[in-house]
């Protein structure tokens, strides 16, 4: 028998907020320190009743969109990768009743056809490999400023007290024009390390104002964040996490400048 809809779940242990830099789709099949860190994450907190994901790979709207399928299909939104990636499955259920509740709260629109993009299913296959938790995905709003995503996180935060894990999936440094695709272990570019370190310091100090003003304050912001869709889920996580303590999941780089910094907020 499946888990009940979130619509009938009472208050329970508060769940954390997670942000993952999901990196390459190859994370789904390659074993390394980062993939092991994701696999070790699930047992660190109580089993959630559901997962709500905000991924860099779903921009829409306005208004905000919410997946409403009972069995969301996988979206293989990448190309040029080995065939084995396109054969992977992650048959997690959706929760249409819960999705409608979120949509009402956010004044959002239900999308019953949308599946789960790789920003959602790739990390979830590592963290919750059984694929037995309901997953609902929430879209980014194309062109919205950081404050919008901070407020989105705050609006989703009450779900934490109902056993819902909130997951932001994107990347701290994500500039595909500068990535060394041929060498996963390439020396880290200095500009990428500086920007990533600046973000890490702001998170540690709970400097939300600094993060919101990253375009002016952070070193090499234009190089590290040439487009915002991978950085925006960070603000959702920070908004939902409030003043909670930030705990490291993984810190490091792949392919010279692709930051894999991931963390959770108690």
The pTM for the full model equals 0.94
What is the per-residue pLDDT across 198-255, written as a single tens digit (0 to 9) for each? 999 999 999 999 999 999 999 999 999 999 999 999 999 999 999 899 999 999 999 9
Query: How many angstroms separate the CA atoms of 104 and 222, rounded?
Result: 36
What is the per-residue pLDDT across 87-139, written as a single tens digit (0 to 9) for each? 999 999 999 999 999 999 999 999 999 999 999 999 999 999 999 999 999 99
Asked whether 132 and 50 are in contact (CB, 8 A), the reply is no
What is the per-residue pLDDT across 31-80, written as a single tens digit (0 to 9) for each? 999 999 999 999 999 999 999 999 999 999 899 999 999 999 999 999 88
Asked whether 91 and 71 are in contact (CB, 8 A), the reply is yes
% helix, strand, coil for the chain, step of 5: 35, 20, 45
Given a cut of 80, is residue 84 above it in pLDDT?
yes
pLDDT value at residue 2: 35
Confidence category of residue 11, pLDDT binned at 50, 70, 90: low
Beta strands across the sheet bearing 164-170: 109-111, 65-67, 135-141, 50-60, 164-170, 17-21, 262-265, 246-250
What is the per-residue pLDDT across 168-202, written as a single tens digit (0 to 9) for each? 999 999 999 999 999 999 999 999 999 999 999 99
Q: Which CATH class is domain 13-173+226-252+260-265?
A: alpha beta
37, two tokens: 């860190």
């Amino acid at each position: 028998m499946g888990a009940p809809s979130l619509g009938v779940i009472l208050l329970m242990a508060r769940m954390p907020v997670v942000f993952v830099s999901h990196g390459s789709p190859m994370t789904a099949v390659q074993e390394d320190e980062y993939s092991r860190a994701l696999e070790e994450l699930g047992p660190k907190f109580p089993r959630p009743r559901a997962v709500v994901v905000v991924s860099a790979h779903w921009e829409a709207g306005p208004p905000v969109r919410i997946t409403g399928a009972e069995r969301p299909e996988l979206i293989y939104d990448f190309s040029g990768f080995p065939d084995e990636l396109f054969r992977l499955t992650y048959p997690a259920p959706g929760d249409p009743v819960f999705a409608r509740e979120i949509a009402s709260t956010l004044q959002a629109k239900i999308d019953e056809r949308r599946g789960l993009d790789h920003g959602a299913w790739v990390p979830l296959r590592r963290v919750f490999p059984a694929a037995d938790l309901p997953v609902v995905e929430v879209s980014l709003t194309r062109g919205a400023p950081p404050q919008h995503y901070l407020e989105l996180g705050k609006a989703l935060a009450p779900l934490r007290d109902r056993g819902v894990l909130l997951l932001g999936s994107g990347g701290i440094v994500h500039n595909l024009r500068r990535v060394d695709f041929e060498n996963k272990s390439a020396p880290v570019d200095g500009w990428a390390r500086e920007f990533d370190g600046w973000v890490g310091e702001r998170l540690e100090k709970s400097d939300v104002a600094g993060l919101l003003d990253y375009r002016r304050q952070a070193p090499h912001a234009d190089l590290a964040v040439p487009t915002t869709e991978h950085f925006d889920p960070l603000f959702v996580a920070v908004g939902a996490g409030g003043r909670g303590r930030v705990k490291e999941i993984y810190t490091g780089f792949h392919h010279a400048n692709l930051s894999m910094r991931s963390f959770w907020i108690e």
